[in-house]
Amino acid sequence: MRKFLSFVRNKGLGPEDKNGKQVNLAHHVRVRRTRARQTRAAVQEEKLIELTAEGHEQLMNELENLKSQRSHLALEIQRAAADKDVRENAPLEAAREEAGRVESRIREIESTLGNAVVIDQNDPTRSQIVKLGTVVEVQDISSEREFKYTVVSASEANPLEFKISDASPLGKVLLGRAAGHEVVADTPRGNVTYKIISIS
């Protein structure tokens, strides 16, 4: 948030005092970081994240889109701050919150991309066992219904597109397994047994 407000000031888009000088709104922001959050962030930065080429491209596009919103948000903050009463200004507060959300997501994506390894989905050894990026066809043993999922990282998961996270109950038990294996997933509806029909 402070970075964004400094960016606004440096671009000359922030509010001005009665002498016409830019007001540095970054001084009004207090960020509390607990030791636990700092440790968690450090651990996340060290961990390599596997992404499919499609997932990597989606994150790059989202990052580009968010960065383009910065100027728009800077103008909103400038307009809202023109009221001069920065203590009780709902539009200014809303613009600041949105700017904070955008900056937070930008940092999150940059961290993910900085630690990302794009997997080679054309590697012939990938089709023998379930790994990130593989398409798995499974059968629910009790209902005999069949499903086809792509196992992806948590940042790419999208149930509507049948992309399941490697950290999900089913994704975890599928990793490293071959066609023909049966796995038991601890789902919200209880333990469900699946048989791996095919991997591609």
For the ranges 8-12, 66-70, 121-125, 136-140, the lowest mean pLDDT is seen at: 121-125
pLDDT band at 174 (very low <50, low <70, confident <90, very high): very high
For the ranges 7-11, 39-43, 162-166, the lowest mean pLDDT is seen at: 39-43
- In the predicted structure, residue 122 carries a pLDDT above the cut 70: no
- In the predicted structure, residue 181 carries a pLDDT above the cut 60: yes
Q: What is the pLDDT of residue 43?
A: 46
Q: What is the pLDDT of residues 43-86, one digit of tens each?
A: 444 577 778 888 899 999 999 999 999 888 888 888 877 776 66
pLDDT band at 129 (very low <50, low <70, confident <90, very high): confident
Residues 4 and 103 sit within 8 Å (Cβ to Cβ): yes
State the average pLDDT for the chain: 80
Q: Which of 118, 136, 168 is the last residue of a domain?
A: 118
- The proportion of the chain whose per-residue pLDDT surpasses 70, expressed as a percent, equals 72
- The proportion of the chain whose per-residue pLDDT surpasses 90, expressed as a percent, equals 29
Distance of CA 162 to the CA centre of its chain: 18
Q: Which of 103, 118, 133 is the last residue of a domain?
A: 118
Q: What is the pTM of this model?
A: 0.54
Q: Which of 102, 118, 134 is the last residue of a domain?
A: 118
Q: Are residues 81 and 170 in the same domain?
A: no
- CATH number for the domain that contains residue 194: 3.10.50.30
Q: What is the pLDDT of residue 44?
A: 45
Q: Are residues 9 and 91 in the same domain?
A: yes
Q: Are residues 70 and 164 in the same domain?
A: no
Which residue would you say has higher pLDDT here, 106 or 19?
Answer: 106
pLDDT band at 121 (very low <50, low <70, confident <90, very high): low
**Domain coverage including residue 156:** 124-199
